[in-house]
Structure 1
């Protein structure tokens, strides 16, 4: 806020940052008589103080003062935080491609089974042990039984799958094309840009590095469930981020794809929850959950942040 002494009357008025006040003497006299006869009420019905700018029509607000360096003077947000998987890059699509290549490599290494059989079994392993588990291919071979690789070295077959998976990661892992331009512009505004994600610390930080996201993030604003000791959908994970960054929930936006994990928890705390539908596996309607905003891509997010929240993008 910028404090400006009134030109007449000796009082003190407060103008928003980036604005100055213009004094109108004739109107001031009328305002003084009006205020003595009947105190003004705000739309909510509460009394406004006499030093409130909106209660003094003789002070006209002018946008003449510069805003904070690199920021937006009237921005309604102090931070935008993101999920990683299926929000910043197409995780599900990438994982299918990498796993398919791994299955084919294991068959090429001598696993004597049709690709469809190996694929279906791998899908079951992932469903049972979660996608973040480190030994999918080991369990896959245990379940397929030895007759199908009797004369093979089990470790070499697994290694073939792992190598193919990582080769795909090197070639194909990339953020959605509209992500980096927006993150770059968000960083330039001076607000906090961060991550709240569920997963293993090493895997999630590797994703941030490979996707080229690290230069655009506030270093202290990266929260990974394993590292924090709290996982989605527990709202405490989001509370930790707000507390450590000293952020007000209503001035913090969270963007994610999962209604249950990325929308309901932060919204329950009063954060601005924005659903990204682009790679979502469940819709808001299917989950029976409401979001504050819905976007199909980050170009739409850019417009939302600029037009609704006043960010200079």
Structure 2
């Protein structure tokens, strides 16, 4: 596997997406967090986010409604009912907590080390343009990724797992799929999507989830640092 470019997912790959969520749940629904697993709720929220995103991408649902419905539906699976007003208040708190996010401890070193070895790096993320740009700014990611290699689904009009998004990115770096590696934590978006575009994939399975299909990622890693070994880069 001769890799000349590595693209990364953003949420829960370069930063802990679960921490601001947990902080917001503890703040808004303290009685829930005393009885239930926030990690399990987070998994439900991401599931409903992905499901509702299909309607949002087809203009059948507003972004505001998506955000309200995903937390209502996720909590409902735990027999915990909230109003639309409570869902809206939670979203406001969540956005506030997201403004204080930070990179995973090993992310900065890994990104710089890959770049120092002459390998290009890029970012591919699903989400609303301004919402994702706010996170990119909070994490200071422009110091690592050039603007032309940052792809936000709502900005380019294609979302993961659509292989066309990965084909677009491959064209931007002018490399064949066999020389590109994608690193991400979500099975459908970050493994199946790039595999269908012919890319190499690294499943960052730090949450120790089960594979959701028979697809085979080229690498399975539990830390970003271990990616360096796979790329034959000295730490």
Do the structures match in fold with TM over 0.5? yes
- CA displacement, residues 96-132 of structure 1 (integer Å, 9 cap, x when unaligned): 322332446xxxxxxxxx6579x99xx78x93756x9
The change in CA–CA distance for 1:294 and 1:168 in structure 2 (over 3 A counts) is same
- What's 2:110 paired with? 182
Q: Does 1:255 align with 2:150?
A: no
How far is 1:170 from its partner?
Answer: 4.0
- The one of 15, 18, 23 equivalent to 1:97 is 23
How far is 1:246 from its partner?
Answer: 1.1
- The one of 178, 185, 193 equivalent to 2:121 is 193
Note if contact 2:99-2:134 (Cα within 8 Å) is conserved in structure 1: no
- What's 2:98 paired with? 169
Note if contact 2:203-2:220 (Cα within 8 Å) is conserved in structure 1: yes
- CA displacement, residues 161-183 of structure 1 (integer Å, 9 cap, x when unaligned): 55543443344x11211101111
Unaligned segments of structure 2, at least 5 residues? 57-62, 73-80
Larger relative CO (CA 8 A, sep 6+): 1 or 2? 2
SS at match of 2:64: coil
TM-score normalised over the length of structure 1: 0.57
How far is 1:137 from its partner?
Answer: 5.7
SS at match of 1:287: coil
- Aligned pairs, how many? 207
Note if contact 1:83-1:196 (Cα within 8 Å) is conserved in structure 2: yes
If each structure's helix is expressed as a fraction of its own residues, which one has the higher value? 2
Find the aligned partners of 1:267 and 1:209 in 2 and give their Cα distance.
29
Find the aligned partners of 2:68 and 2:29 in 1 and give their Cα distance.
9
- What's 2:76 paired with? none
TM-score normalised over the length of structure 2: 0.73
- What's 1:27 paired with? none
Pairs within 5 Å for 1:79-90: 79-90=5-16
How far is 1:212 from its partner?
Answer: 2.4
Note if contact 1:192-1:221 (Cα within 8 Å) is conserved in structure 2: no
Unaligned segments of structure 1, at least 5 residues? 1-74, 105-113, 147-153
How far is 1:283 from its partner?
Answer: 2.5
How far is 1:158 from its partner?
Answer: 7.9
Note if contact 1:259-1:289 (Cα within 8 Å) is conserved in structure 2: no
